[in-house]
Amino acid sequence: MGIERARGRAGVTALEFALIVPIVLTLAALLIEAGWQLTTQAALEYGARQAARFGSTGSAVPTSLAGESPPPTRAQAIAQLVAQAGHGIIDGSRLSVTIQSYAGFPVVGQQGAATVGPGGTGAAVQYALVYQQPYLTGFAQAVLGASFQLHHATLVVQNEPFPQ
C-alpha cells in the first residue's frame, strides 16, 4: 500500500506543478515587462533633462552630435540628443518631441501664448516628449489590450543668455 500511495502522491505533485507553472511564468513575464517599461520611462525623463539642459544654453549642436552630418537645427539636435541619452532604449523613430517657447513662466500653458521652437534668450521653454514603447511579451498585450505603452515627459526651463 505504501508504493501505491507514493505513486498517487507523485501524480498530485505533477498536477500541482502543471497548475502553478503557467501562473508563475505569467507573473514573471509581467514583472519583466513592468521593469522594462519603468526603465523606458526613466530613460525618457533622463533624455528630456539632457535635451532641456542643452536647449537652454542656445548652442547650435551638442558636441556629442557634431559628427559627419550634425542636425541642421536646434530642435532636431534636441530630438537626437534624447534618443542618444536613452542608450539604446529610446528609438528615435518612435519619439515625438514638441518644443514650445513662451515669453515667461507666468504664461506657460496658456492658449495662444506659445511659439513653436526652442526660443531665444530668457524664454521659458516647454519640452514635451511622447514615446511609444512596444511590449516585450504577448502577456502584456493580452492583459492590457494594446501593443505598446505610451510614455510622457514634460519639462519647462528658462533659457540662459545665449552666446553671441
d(Cα 83, Cα 41) in Å, to the nearest integer?
A: 13
Cross-sheet strand order for the sheet of 95-102:
115-116, 95-102, 124-134, 148-158
Strand partners, 158: 124
Q: Is the pLDDT of residue 32 over 60?
A: yes
Least-confidence region, from 20-34, 65-79, 106-120: 65-79
Q: In which band, very low, low, confident or very high, does the pLDDT at 17 lie, cut at 50, 70 and 90?
A: confident
Strand partners, 146: none
Asked whether the whole model's pTM tops 0.75, one would answer: yes
**Percent of the residues in the chain that have a pLDDT greater than 90, as a whole number:** 41
What integer pLDDT is reported at residue 64 of this predicted model?
Answer: 67
All 3 cell numbers of residue 31?
514583472
Q: In which band, very low, low, confident or very high, does the pLDDT at 7 lie, cut at 50, 70 and 90?
A: low
What integer pLDDT is reported at residue 116 of this predicted model?
Answer: 92
Closest CA to 108 of 151, 150, 76, 154: 154
The answer to whether residues 159 and 99 touch, using CB atoms and an 8 Å cutoff, is no
**Rounded to whole angstroms, what are the CA distances from 149 to 73, 104, 123, 129, 135?**
29, 33, 32, 14, 7
d(Cα 18, Cα 4) in Å, to the nearest integer?
A: 21
Q: Is the pLDDT of residue 62 over 70?
A: no
DSSP labels, 99-161: EEEESSGGGTT-TT--EESS--TT-EEEEEEEEEEE-SSHHHHHHHS-SEEEEEEEEEEEPPP
The answer to whether residues 109 and 145 touch, using CB atoms and an 8 Å cutoff, is no
Q: In which band, very low, low, confident or very high, does the pLDDT at 53 lie, cut at 50, 70 and 90?
A: confident
What integer pLDDT is reported at residue 141 of this predicted model?
Answer: 83
